[in-house]
Amino acid sequence: MDLGLRESRVLVTGGGSNIGRGIVHGFAREGSRIVISDIDGPQAQRVRAEALELGAAEAEVHIGDLTQPGVADAAVQQACNRWGGLDVAVNNAGWSVPGFIAEDTDRAKWQRTVEVNLYTAIATTQAAIAPMRAAGSGSIVFIASDAAFGQIRQGIYGATKAALIALARTTAREHGRHGIRSNVICPGLVIPEGPEAVGEASLWAVGDDAVFNDNQIEFLRKDIPLQRLTTALDIANAVVWISSETAARQVTGQVFSVSGGYTMP
């Protein structure tokens, strides 16, 4: 099925590492034009080269900290200046350090988690609405998490991801009349496919064991009905589908867990 995404104008925040990189690859295979927004310049440039090799019509890099005022606006404006508008915005920028709720008492870490996971999505969504509203169409995709439904060692992180669901559904209700669709993808645990999949600033850069060790991963796997972990490609395929006006034109305000059935919202 032709998803109608060739030459589409796409912004992916946090597009340099792991899930974001996979999403960029997914749109590249569709022949889209992509702005890769990330705080990690060298990694974003690496992913840009990969995207062009995979078939992206064009790929641009926007480097900046989306938690800072004006940076999200600049990322959206880069797509608009280059290609005359924006068809898809993927709110993927995220950050997490696992911790039990009774022990996770570092307020500065809470603040950073909220800023990266929620503030960036608010700012990017607000910036994307104007060109999409002017065009009478657009798709905004929020990358939340199964942690949004309550998971061990993910209390603060999960709370920010639950907030994304409310933000996405409010956006769907307020801007459906403008032709803008807004949906949520909740990944299960996605382990980077290799060192090339993450940059130095990624939470995974410290090594897989520092985030989830083998025992924790196996414990998780046993609770997955399909008995396998989610990959970045799995998330990319879901995002590309939900972004397509051809395939998903009547889908908005919905939450999809891509986790092998670990959660079923």
At position 132, the amino acid (one-letter code) is: M
Q: Is 84 exposed, middle or buried (0-12, 13-18, 19+ CB in 10 A)?
A: exposed
Task: Say if CB 142 and CB 100 are below 8 A apart.
Answer: no
- Is 119 in the active site? no
- Is residue 145 within 8 A of residue 95, CB to CB? The reply is no
Residue closest to 169 by CA, chosen among 121, 219, 120, 106: 121
DSSP state of 230: B
Q: One of 95, 142, 149, 157 is an active-site residue; which one?
A: 157
Please report, to the nearest 10 degrees, the dihedral formed by the alpha carbons of residues 154, 156, 161, 164 taken in order. Answer: 170
Active site residues: 157
